[in-house]
Every structure is written in C-alpha cells, then in structure tokens.
Amino acid sequence: MREKNKITGAIFLLTILVMVLLNFDRNHTTVEATNASESDVQLIARAINGEARGEPYEGQVAIGAVILNRVKHPSFPNTVAGVIYQSGAFTAVADGQINVPIASGSTVVKAARDAINGWDPTGGAIYYFNPNTATNKWIWSRPRIKTIGQHIFCK
C-alpha cells in the first residue's frame, strides 16, 4: 500500500512539475498572427480587451481612439503596433493582459471598429489613467478632457 502511495505521490509531484513548466511556457508564447487586412482591428481590440474589458462601451471605444490619436501624433510611434508595444505605454502590455483571449459576446471588436471609423469619445486624448491606481505623478499634470468610466482622459 505504502509503495502505491509513494508512486501516486511521485506521479502527483511530476504532474505539478509538468503543469508548472507548461504554464511557464504558455506565459511566454507569442501571440498568433492575424489576418493582415484585419490585423490592426484585432490588435486594437486585444489592447482594449486588456485595458478596459470591464468598462462601458464608450470607455472601450475611447481606448481605441487614444491609440489612434497617438499614431497620428508626432510624439509617438507612427504605427498601431508601435504605439501599443511602446515601452511603458500600456499596462496591459506590460502585464500580459493584452494576450487574454477575447470572450465571446465581448464588445471590444465592435469598439475597435468604431474607433477606426473615427468615433473619438475622448475628444482627441493621447493619455488616460485610472485615478484610483495611477502611481505616476506626472500624469496628473496633463490638461484633462473628460472622465469616461474609470478613466480620466487628457491631452
């Protein structure tokens, strides 16, 4: 009996080991490539999903709009991917939230499409922050435009 226990114990430990290793790897796999013509919509949708999936619809469109406002702005990279993956730009990129799969029935793809079609609820914002969690003092000094959901949007 004891032998069996030992074997089960070993198997149990091995399973944990394997699971840890697998998980370890999963966190670092790159995101799958998307259809080229749709890739910007998908990337923006994933960024919205990572940054604001709990926000009201307008707040989701707003995140997409900020990304696109940055692409057009001289102080930021000139492509969607450049803006989204710029170092320190989005917490969802830093903590991997951007790689969380989009839930079915989620509105983030629609929100991304609206932003690309020109809806900009932020009125031209290039920054936003959550006043409850923002640690960067500098961000408070930016001229405010408006608050949508949990986020304050600024120039």
Partner 1 sequence: MKIKEKIAKLPEKTKIGGIIAVFAMIVFVLILFMEKQEKNYIQVSENSYNMAFCELVDYVQNVEIYLSKALVSNSAEHGAETLTRVWREANLAQSYLARLPISSNELENTQKFLNQVSDYTYSLSSKNIQSEKLTQEDLENLAQLHTYSQELANILEQLSVDLNAGRINWSDLTEEKSSIFTQEVSNLSKDSFGSVEENFHEYAGLIYDGAYSEHITTQEKVGLTGEDISKEEAEDVVLEYLQNEDIREIQYNGFAENANIPAYEFYAKINKNGKEENINLSISKKGGYIIFANLDREIGAEILSQEDAEEIGRKFLEDRGITQMKSTYYTKQSGIVTINYAYYQELDGQQVVMYPDLIKVKVALDNGEVLGMESTGYLNSHHERDLAEIKITKEEAKKNINPNLEILSEGLAVIPTEWKTEIFCYEFRGKVQDREFLVYINVETGKEEDILIILNTENGVLTQ
d(CA 64, CA 43): 10
- Taking CB under 8 A as the criterion, the residue among 11, 31, 38, 140 binding partner 1 is 38
- Taking CB under 8 A as the criterion, the residue among 40, 51, 55, 114 binding partner 1 is 114
Nearest approach, Cβ of 104 to partner 1 (angstroms)?
12
d(CA 134, CA 39): 30
Sheet of 144-148: strand order equals 127-129, 151-154, 144-148
Contact footprint for partner 1 (CB under 8 A): 2-3, 6, 9-10, 13, 17, 20-21, 24, 28, 37-38, 56-58, 61, 72-78, 82, 85-89, 107, 109-111, 113-114, 117-124, 135-136, 138-139, 143-147, 154-155
